[in-house]
Structure 1
Amino acid sequence: MRALFRLLVPARGASAAPATRRETVALALADGREISVLRVRDPRARRLRLSVSERGARLTVPPGTSLAAGERFLHQHRDWLAAQLQAHAADAQAPLLRGQTASLPLRGQEVPLRWAEGRAARLQAEADGLVFAAPARAGDAALRRVLRDFYEAQARADVGRWLPAYLPGLPRAPRRIVFKRTTSLWGSLAPDGTLALDLALVLAPPAAFEYVLVHELCHLLHADHSPRFWQAVEQRCPGWRQQREVLRADGRRLKARLRALLAG
C-alpha cells in the first residue's frame, strides 16, 4: 500500500507540469473593427503561432515568451489575420449554386468550374478544370449528391494509388474503406477492420491525406498511440509532423467548406 501511495503522491519538490492557459484578447484591425483573439499559453509550443479556424483567431504563445512579444506579433500580422478571417467567413457560407459557383476545392487547390447543360447530372475533370453538366430539371439536392459522389470517387482513386505500397508491411488489409463527413476525427479503424476516412481529406493537400491513411493503417500494427505506433508512422511517412500541422491549421476550414457545399 505504501508503494502505491508513493506512486500516486508527487515526490517532495516535484512540480506539476505547467498548465495551458487560455484567455481572450481584443485586437483593433486597420479598418477600425475590433475582433477577439484566443490567446493560448501552451507549454508544448516552440514558437509564436497565429492560426485561423471556423472558431476564430488563435495566438499560441510558447513558454518563455512575454505577453508583450505576443501582442507585437499579433499587431504585425493583423492584416494577414483580417484576410484569413474574411476568407474563412466566405468559405463557410458558400453553398453549391448552379451557374454561380466558379471553383471547387480539390487536393489543396481551387479548381475552376464551368457549368453546362446535359441529359444527366454529372461532374467530371477535364484538362482545363471541372465541368458540371446537369439538366434544367435537376434540383439542388441532386446536384449536391453528384458533388458528394465525385468527391468520394476522387478520394477512392487517391487511396487506390497509395494503398498497395503499404500493404506488404501490414498483418492484414483493411476489411473495407468508407468515407464519412465528420466534425472532429480525420480517420478511425474499427475493431472489425473497417477503415473510416473523412471525406474532407480529398480537399486537403494529397500529402496530408496520405498521412491520415498511413496513421490509420498503422493501427493495424498497434492499436494505441504508443512509441512503437509513432515509430511505424515515421518509417512510412517521415514528414508526418508537418502534414499533421497542415490539418491542424486548415482542417476546420476544409470541414466547414465541405459542409457548406453539401449542406441540405
Structure 2
Amino acid sequence: MPSPSRLLSRSAKPASILRDSLRLTLEDGREIEVLRVRDPRARRIRLSISERGTRLTLPLRASLVSGDVFLQQHRGWLAAQIDAHGATLPLQRGITAHLPLHGDQRPLRWEGGRFSHVRMDDDGALTFVSPEHAGAAALQRALREFYEARARADIGRWLPAYLSGLPRAPSRIRLKIMSSQWGSLAPDGTLTLDLSLVLAAPSAFEYVLVHELCHLIHANHSRDFWREVEARCPGWRDERDYFREHGRRLKAELHALLS
C-alpha cells in the first residue's frame, strides 16, 4: 500500500497562473495597460515588453503592493521602450487616424457603410468603411482581410521573378501572425509568412520571401544558402538590420490592431 505522503503528493495540484490587467500612467501622462501575471514558476518580479504588450510577472510570495512599487520605479524604462519599439494602440472606430502599411503610417478616414471593409484610395490614404454598430471583432476581421489581400498582392507581384531559378515552386503560401519568426518553409513545400511583413518596408518583405524561397534549394543556413540569397537580394544585410531595428515594433503594432 502506498504511504500517505505519496498519496498526498500525487493528489496535490500545482498552483495555477493568475492573470489580470491594470492601467499605468507614465511620467509623460500616457496611460498603458499592463498584464499582471502571478506565476508559481517565477522567482522574482519581472517586467517585460513584447509584441503582446507590457507584462508584469509576480512570484507567489510577492504582494500586489510590491508589484505596484516595482512598476512605478520603472515607468521611465517603460516609456523609453515604448518610444523605441512603438506604442501598442488598439483599433478604434472613428479614433484611429493612421494605419501602418508598407513602411509608412497611412492616413485613415472613417465612413459609414453596410459592411466593414478597408480600401486604399488614389492618394494612398486608407478608408475604413463600417456600420456605426460594428464591434471590435468585425473591425479587426475587416482589417486583417485587407492586410492579407495587400500581402498576397505583393507576393504575387514578386514571386514570378524568382520561380525560374528554383527547383520547384512552393506547394502553397500561407499568411499568419507569428510570434517570433518572419517566415518558415515546411518539408511539404508550404511557405508561411508573418502577416506583419505587410507593415514593413516592401524591400524588407521581399527579402523574407527570397530567404524562404532559397530554402527550396538549401534547407539550411550554410554558405551555399547565403550565396543563393545574395544572388537574388544583394542588399539582404541591410534588410536584416531593418528587422533588428523595427521588427519588434511591427509585430507589436499588428498584435495591437488585430487583438
State the TM-score, normalizing by the size of structure 1. 0.67
Give the match for residue 178 of structure 2: 182
Matches within 5 A, 1:124-135: 124-128=119-123, 129-135=125-131
Question: Is 2:204 the partner of 1:211?
Answer: no
Q: Corresponding residue for 1:99? A: 94
Indicate the SS of the match to 1:160: helix
Residue identity in the other structure for 2:241: E
Q: Give every structure 1 segment of 4 or more consecutive aligned residues whose post-TM-superposition deviation is greater than 4 Å.
A: 81-84
1:170 aligns with 2:166: yes
1:89–1:192: structure 2 CA closer, same or farther, 3 Å change rule?
closer
Match of 1:195 in 2: 191
For residues 95-145 of structure 1, give each alpha carbon's deviation from its aligned partner in whole angstroms, at most 9, with x where no partner exists: 000000000000000000010000111100002300001112221100000
Correspondence for 1:65: none
Q: Point out where structure 2 has 5 or more consecutive residues left out of the alignment.
A: 1-27, 29-47, 51-76
Match of 2:240 among 223, 229, 244: 244
Q: Does 1:112 align with 2:113?
A: no
Which amino acid in the other structure matches residue 210 of structure 2?
V
Is there any run of 5+ residues in structure 1 with no aligned partner, and where? 1-30, 32-52, 56-80
In 2, are the aligned partners of 1:54 and 1:253 still within 8 Å (CA)?
no
Q: How many residues align?
A: 188
Q: Is the 8 A contact 2:117 2:129 kept in 1?
A: yes
Question: Residues 204 and 254 of structure 1 are in contact (CA less than 8 Å); yes or no, is this contact kept in structure 2?
Answer: yes
- Describe the SS at the equivalent of 2:242: helix
**Counterparts in 2 of 1:1-264, with a 5 A limit?**
54=49, 85-88=81-84, 91-92=87-88, 94-128=89-123, 129-263=125-259
Amino acid at match of 1:126: D
C-alpha displacement at 1:88, in angstroms? 4.8
Q: 1:114 is paired with a residue of what secondary structure?
A: strand
Identity of aligned residues (%): 61
Q: TM-score, normalised by structure 2?
A: 0.69
Query: 1:108 is aligned with what amino acid?
Result: G
